[in-house]
Amino acid sequence: MYKIIAITESWATPDITDNELGLDGFVLFRKDRSEIRVGRGGGVLLYVSNELRCVAVETLNAFKCESLWIEIHDDSRANVIVGVCYKCPLVSEHELKEMFSAIRHAAKSRCLILGDFNYPNIDWDSWECNKDNEELVDVIQDNFLFQHVKVIIIIMITDLYSAFRSEDTEALEAAQED
């Protein structure tokens, strides 16, 4: 059974309650796009098993970007910061700087960072990339982080997908092609 579930592009809004998003046996942490800026879509969720002791990391969650951070407490004092990030393809420069700042701060501790950064043009074996991707590569290398997943994984739940309005369907399909 999974202990941590990270979701990007939750599309959650303040109209959707935590009870509606909740999963039995898990603590829900959420950050809706509306907390950061105006617009549909986006947002991030973290579900952490009730078996783990964890707290939100408010200093990292204060950054104005679509990222959410928790700290898992272990009896051996081997705490781990876990974050989920979403970088919209049309993100503002300010929001991107905020996300990279949050990552830099998290990297001062043991951390696991999950998410969708929308940087498809990075060769993770050689670190070659175009100019648009250099800043992320620099943040990763400067903070001694490692990219572990080297393939794009898209999981779409059919019932959820069919719940979107028809004009949203085209946007979702276009995002999948990226």
Q: How many domains is the chain built from?
A: 1
Mean pLDDT for the chain overall: 86
Per-residue model confidence (pLDDT) at position 124: 84
**Residues 22, 28 contacting (CB under 8 angstroms):** yes
* Low-confidence spans in the chain with pLDDT less than 70: 150-178
Q: Which of 69, 2, 63 is nearest to 37 (CA)?
A: 63
- Domain extent for 37: 4-177
Q: What pTM does this model have?
A: 0.82
Report how far residue 70's alpha carbon sits from residue 171's, in angstroms, rounded to the nearest whole number.
Answer: 30
CATH code (residue 20): 3.60.10
Per-residue model confidence as pLDDT tens digits over 100-132: 999 999 999 999 999 999 888 888 889 899 988
Per-residue model confidence as pLDDT tens digits over 162-174: 334 344 445 445 5
